[in-house]
Amino acid sequence: MEHTRIKELLKSEELGKEVVVKGWVKTFRNNQFIAINDGSSINNIQAVIDYENTPEHILKRITTGAAVRVKGQLVESLGKGQRVEVKASEVSILGDSDPEKYPLQPKKHSLEFLREIAHLRLRTTTFNAVFKVRNALAFAIHKFFQDRDFVYFHSPIITGSDAEGAGEMFRVTTLDLKNPPLTPEGEVDFKEDFFGRSTNLTVSGQLEGELAALAFGNIYTFGPTFRAENSNTTRHLAEFWMIEPEMAFYELEDNMDLAEDLLKYVIKYALDTCPEEIEFLKNRLLEEEKSKPKNERSELNLIEKLNFVLENKFERITYTEAIEILKKSKPNQKKQFKYLIEGWGADLQSEHERYLVEKHFKKPVIITDYPREIKSFYMKQNEVDENGRQTVRAMDILFPGIGEMVGGSQREENLDKLLARMAEVGIPEEEMQWFLDTRRFGSVPHSGFGVGFERLVLFTTGMTNIRDVIPFPRTPKNAEF
């Protein structure tokens, strides 16, 4: 390779050496100083050109966004903010960029504007930092599980099942919808979607993960999942990545321990391997918060917030305890919640979750044992209590500023109880024989959970909108490319 990556040059000790840099122009000042970035670092290298000896037709083409090759000597920099720079002896243009048309100018652009040019925002420092952290977290997830002898298991993307039973699926069909096959009632026969089956994009790899856990012991999936929910929030995507470990012989407590260890491990890994990116993101957030009133700014900066999570054990409470806290809370008493907590049984809204983690406990909270009626059919059922209430061995992990980061449970391993629950919620038994076989042949206690990967990236980068932590967000309004 003729050129050296900028990241290497910035820490190089070989002053005086002849080097070649290839990258994109960030700024060009005084016909003399080019800030060049090649994506390897959030920092640029400065090339100082001898403009008197650089032809006018080249000078004109050194514009923001243009790709350049600079050859020169690596020297100590006299300028502020950089240790080294390149004293250029040769500059050539590899790819022009028309300054009138290039949308990224050397100034601060709003995240909203950058979302509209998602194909170019990858070249900004903010998105370089965000996607480097995303990359580090993804690697750390594999490392965590591989070091613990979990098998990376590939669950299918096209499936006939609705793992969550929530009906939020994107249909996958081979039908000619202009001339579809019809049922005797005259409706489109989606049973013919995919050569005799109704099919959709997966909402979760869990059910297939359970099959694998009862074969390999410990497995994890890590791939894209899809939800056809029309929710335009800063926490929801139609296409998001999920990490779903599933473990045989794990009960709920083991499941919680693993989830807490995983989250702490991967956040620490990002802090250790992306210090410059996280420092940049911390400062970015501090800058952004300056526009907020003082009482709405966070008490901790990003790095303090991440370290706080590493240093504190997550609070563990039951749903019933959470309801008691919320009922007695000031916003509930003063009717400041949009949805008031009046009794036992309703699902927690995000305002309640945020109150628990941000105001009451001020740290991540694991809520367990939710009412059976508001959770998925596959969760292990607890005995009915003395008040006639029945809960399931569910766990949700809530994070400050994020809300639900993880959803999981111990699974119902008893065939009869599972069948009864499926019948109650209307899941056709005949379509789930493959899943039910796990409970027929060698059923054992087992547990698992799903981490929303983008919510993890959101927390670790301090970004505030989930559309800004995935390269090409799929939401009802963003599906162009």
Question: Which residues make up the interface to ligand 4AD (CB under 6 A)?
Answer: 163-164, 204, 206, 227, 229, 236-237, 240, 242, 244, 404-408, 448-450, 452, 454-455
Closest residue to bound Mg ion by CB: 407
39: left (phi over 0), alpha (psi -120 to 50) or beta: left
For the bound state, the minimum distance from the C-beta of residue 410 to Mg ion, rounded and expressed in Å, comes to 15
Q: How far apart are CA 141 and CA 247, in angstroms?
A: 16
CA angle 240–244–250, rounded 5-degree value: 160
For the bound state, the minimum distance from the C-beta of residue 88 to ligand 4AD, rounded and expressed in Å, comes to 46
Nearest to 391 by CA among 403, 378, 375: 375
For the bound state, the minimum distance from the C-beta of residue 163 to ligand 4AD, rounded and expressed in Å, comes to 5
Q: Which is nearer to ligand 4AD, 67 or 111 (CB)?
A: 111
For the bound state, the minimum distance from the C-beta of residue 468 to ligand 4AD, rounded and expressed in Å, comes to 13
For the bound state, the minimum distance from the C-beta of residue 390 to Mg ion, rounded and expressed in Å, comes to 19
For the bound state, the minimum distance from the C-beta of residue 291 to Mg ion, rounded and expressed in Å, comes to 32
Q: Which two tokens stand for residue 192?
A: 């013919």
- 62 binds, options Mg ion, ligand 4AD, none, Cβ within 5 to 8 A by partner type: none
For the bound state, the minimum distance from the C-beta of residue 245 to ligand 4AD, rounded and expressed in Å, comes to 8
For the bound state, the minimum distance from the C-beta of residue 348 to Mg ion, rounded and expressed in Å, comes to 11
Residue with tokens 């050109």: 49
Beta strands in 190-274 (DSSP E): 199-201, 218-226, 239-248
- 351 binds, options ligand 4AD, Mg ion, none, Cβ within 5 to 8 A by partner type: none
Q: Which is nearer to ligand 4AD, 269 or 449 (CB)?
A: 449
Q: Which is nearer to ligand 4AD, 145 or 280 (CB)?
A: 145
**Are 237 and 454 in contact, with CB atoms under 8 Å apart?**
yes
Q: Which is nearer to ligand 4AD, 354 or 455 (CB)?
A: 455
Q: Which is nearer to Mg ion, 193 or 210 (CB)?
A: 210
Residue 326's H or E segment, with its range, is helix 319-328
CA angle 269–257–242, rounded 5-degree value: 60
- 400 binds, options Mg ion, ligand 4AD, none, Cβ within 5 to 8 A by partner type: none
- 66 binds, options ligand 4AD, Mg ion, none, Cβ within 5 to 8 A by partner type: none
For the bound state, the minimum distance from the C-beta of residue 103 to Mg ion, rounded and expressed in Å, comes to 38
Q: Which residues pair with 242 in a beta bridge?
A: 223, 452
Buried-state track 439-450, b at ≥16 Cβ within 10 A, e below 16: beeebebbbbbb
Q: Which is nearer to ligand 4AD, 35 or 213 (CB)?
A: 213
- 431 binds, options ligand 4AD, Mg ion, none, Cβ within 5 to 8 A by partner type: none
Q: Which is nearer to Mg ion, 305 or 421 (CB)?
A: 421
* Footprint on this chain of Mg ion (rule: CB under 5 A): 407
- 227 binds, options Mg ion, ligand 4AD, none, Cβ within 5 to 8 A by partner type: ligand 4AD
- 22 binds, options Mg ion, ligand 4AD, none, Cβ within 5 to 8 A by partner type: none
Is residue 477 packed enough to be buried (19+ CB in 10 Å), middle (13-18) or exposed (0-12)?
exposed
Q: Which is nearer to Mg ion, 235 or 362 (CB)?
A: 235
- 277 binds, options ligand 4AD, Mg ion, none, Cβ within 5 to 8 A by partner type: none
Q: Which is nearer to ligand 4AD, 236 or 282 (CB)?
A: 236
Q: Which is nearer to Mg ion, 61 or 227 (CB)?
A: 227
Is residue 480 packed enough to be buried (19+ CB in 10 Å), middle (13-18) or exposed (0-12)?
exposed
The end-to-end CA distance of the chain, in Å, is 32
Buried-state track 163-182, b at ≥16 Cβ within 10 A, e below 16: bbbeebbeebeeeeeeeeee
User: Quick one: CA torsion of 298, 304, 306, 312, rounded to 10 degrees?
Assistant: -100
- 365 binds, options ligand 4AD, Mg ion, none, Cβ within 5 to 8 A by partner type: none
284: left (phi over 0), alpha (psi -120 to 50) or beta: alpha
For the bound state, the minimum distance from the C-beta of residue 77 to ligand 4AD, rounded and expressed in Å, comes to 43
Q: How far apart are CA 401 and CA 187, in angstroms?
A: 45
Beta strands in 66-157 (DSSP E): 67-76, 84-95, 151-152
- 253 binds, options Mg ion, ligand 4AD, none, Cβ within 5 to 8 A by partner type: none
